[in-house]
Structure 1
Amino acid sequence: MYSVSSIANAIRNPRVVCEEANLLYQHGFGFRETAAHNENGVDILSEDWDNLVILDACRYDTFRDLASELPGTLTKAESKASATNLFLRANFTDEELHDTVYVTANPQLYRIENGVYDVEPIHVEFHDQIDVWQDQWHDEYRTVMPEVVTEAALDAAERYPNKRLIVHYLQPHAPYIGETGVEHLPTDYLDFWGSFNDGEIDVPLETAKQAYRENVEVVLPHVSTLLAEFDGKTVVTADHGELLGERDSPIPIRRYGHPAYANVPALLEVPWLEYETETRPDIVAEAPEQAASRGGPDSDVVRERLQDLGYAE
């Protein structure tokens, strides 16, 4: 069940044993095969929307506190998963979405579908998939800035007026590009919360929390732009939340980031903001764009992008 490397890691870091024990208590043995997603989570594809805006790692409570000026009605929803790769699997596996265009700053789906890592493909087919991260990666901040995602989303809306549109921002996921993050958080750690969790980063928790809040603030003006420009019904949500020091159970260790399979409230509770214009588009399913003709990046490039975001191989 456990590899030699994972056992060695547990010996070096006993905290890992506590984390695994909590997961076993919550899910039972074999949970990586049987409890990959939250059965109570919202089925995003079956919901009524023309445009779905996904904020990566956005907590419901933080969004609620900072997004009060956005138009629309905000409620709390549950995500199907605590991490992006599981969210994608839970919502998109074996789906033929010829009426949908996916604009994404996150390389995870490309990684899964194109064998960058040795994992089972999801087998999802969109009318078109626009991987903004391929040519709009910000090398200094090691992320995709929200403004280029907004531009790509508006271009897609103009190009595909009769398609559902999914727009996946990276923010508020680390790296933190607000003032606090840039000035006070170290940039030489690829997995910020993992390193923070292991005690390798000497930064006050409140400083890290403020950097997270600012990453939400950074992306909200772009959400506002899409709400103003998109036609039809737009939903703003998140793939999962973020742990900012909440205690796990039954062993009450503090957790950070968004560990896979940790189906706890701070990770599963996400915003669900609905805003609708007077008219809605007529959505039509059509044969996909020829993705092969667009080519793709080298596998090493994809790995580098994922490592910049803190995803280990």
Structure 2
Amino acid sequence: MYTPSQLWRGVRRGVQRPSFFGQELNRLYNRRLYRREYNTDGIDVMAEDWDNLIILDACRYDLFSAQQQECSGTLERRESRGSHTVEFLVGNFAGRTLMDTVYVTASPQLYRWNDRIDATFHEVINVWKHGWDDTHKTVLPRTMTDYGRRVAAQYPNKRLIMHFIQPHYPFIENPEINVGNRLEGSDKTDIWGRLRDGDADVSASEIWDAYRNNLDRVLPAVRELVGTLSGRSVVTSDHGNMFGERSGPIPVAEWGHPPGTYTKELVTVPWQVVSSSERRDIRPEQPHSKSNQFPPSTDRQHDDDTDIMTAQLYPLGYLE
């Protein structure tokens, strides 16, 4: 259900950009008049066989398959439950008690939507609180790899989810493309909005190259991390990313990863399986906070953390 402010923003967008109505009608169709919160045709990642799940945010299957030589294992494909991170989180974790799993994340989205998702993990390590890189306005892959090693050592009997930001915007190797503060006073917080509205000062091919560079930046860190982890590892994505392809049933060009848009570019994701003869003895247990080597990162929200989260969502393109 929309709030009055959301409805007004939708009307304002529709007046400024008529294609908005086509996009919204597509979402109504895909979400069955908003009777479903996510793509119910997607897999339940928690029901799949893995000890370590490495999530690359917004990674298209076709790009990963072309670049995946950085990772060993067997590449398969899966259908995701979301075309947006929040849909992925709701579809896989909402209302569940997952005391056998530690979730390590560079994305603030679980924290932001904590009340809606209402998931209970053995531990949540919010790397975005303490590992944010102010220069690049993101959490760098190396930081996530370092956290992953430490978490695996501390929790040897838990399933481990590592949620990297890359190849998601902003672009590490191409900062000149990132919108950031250049749009002060504008409601367009990322390059996808500018491309969608036809007022970007870079070409789609330049954006694709920058996106591919982000994947090239994260894959060596992922390969290094997987090489240090025991058990069966899977490298996947929460959703893909669109580069002007048409959604449906109304053929509207889409950019980025809008929710409720279940195109193959958005919900077909890589599933790279790195098998191991050594499997971990996974046990669900209550957390022992006194032994936690990491800064506090429980589900409780604090004003300072909320301010940090808000400041970081802007350069990731999530707030308007």
TM-score by length of 1: 0.91
Other structure's SS at 1:294 match: coil
State the Cα distance separating 1:18 from its structure 2 match: 2.0
2:303 paired with 1:301: no
Q: Residue 213 of structure 1 aligns with which residue? A: 212
1:182 corresponds to which residue?
175
Q: Distance in 1 between matches of 2:59 and 2:218?
A: 11
Q: 1:140 aligns with which of 122, 130, 135?
A: 135
Greater shift after overlay, 53-62 or 17-26? 17-26
Aligned pairs (5 A) from 1:80-229: 80-113=81-114, 120-178=115-173, 181-187=174-180, 188-189=182-183, 190-229=189-228
Q: For 1:215, what is the secondary structure of its paired residue?
A: helix
- 1:184 CA drift (Å): 4.7
- The 3-state SS of whatever aligns with 2:160 is strand
**2:258 aligned residue:** 259
Partner residue, 2:186? none
Supply the distance in 2 between the matched residues of 1:126 and 1:251 (Cα, whole angstroms).
39
Per-residue deviation at 1:192? 1.9
**What is the aligned partner in structure 1 of residue 74 from structure 2?**
73
Q: Percent of aligned positions with the same letter in both sequences?
A: 42
Seen in structure 2, the aligned counterparts of structure 1 residues 91 and 304 have a Cα distance that, compared at 3 Å, is same
Give the paired residue count.
301
TM-score scaled to structure 2, two decimals? 0.89
What aligned pairs does 1:227-266 form with structure 2 within 5 A after superposition?
227-266=226-265
Deviation of 1:266 (Å): 0.4
Output one character per residue of 1:27-59: Cα deviation in whole Å (capped at 9) or x when no partner.
Answer: 44x32xx13211221111011110000000000
Partner SS, residue 244 of structure 2: strand
Q: Which residue of 2 aligns with 1:5?
A: 9
**Alpha-carbon distance in 1 for matches of 2:241, 2:167:** 9
Unaligned runs of 5+ in 2: 184-188
Which residue does the alignment assign to 1:23? 27
| Post-superposition offset of 1:68 | 2.4
Cα distance, 1:23 vs. partner? 2.6
Q: Is the 8 A contact 2:31 2:38 kept in 1?
A: no
- Closer, same or farther: CA 27–168 of 1 in aligned 2, 3 Å: closer
User: What is the Cα deviation at residue 176 of structure 1?
Assistant: 0.6
Worse overlay, 142-151 or 251-260? 251-260
Give the C-alpha shift of residue 5 in structure 1: 2.7
Check conservation: 2:30, 2:260, Cα contact below 8 A: no
Contact 1:246 1:255 (C-alpha < 8 Å) held by counterparts: yes
Query: How far apart, CA to CA, are the structure 2 residues paired with 1:250 and 1:111?
Result: 31
Q: Give the letter aligned to residue 294 of structure 1.
A: P
Q: 2: distance between equivalents of 1:162 and 1:304?
A: 35
Structure 1 residues not aligned, in runs of 5+ = 114-119
CA distance in 2, matches of 1:282, 1:137: 32
Where do 4+ consecutive residues of structure 1 move more than 3 Å? 24-28, 183-187, 295-298
Distance 1:289 1:303 in 2: 29
C-alpha displacement of 1:121 = 2.4
What secondary structure sits across from 1:162 in the alignment?
A: coil
Contact 1:127 1:289 in 2 (8 A): no
* Alignment-mate amino acid for residue 15 of structure 1: S
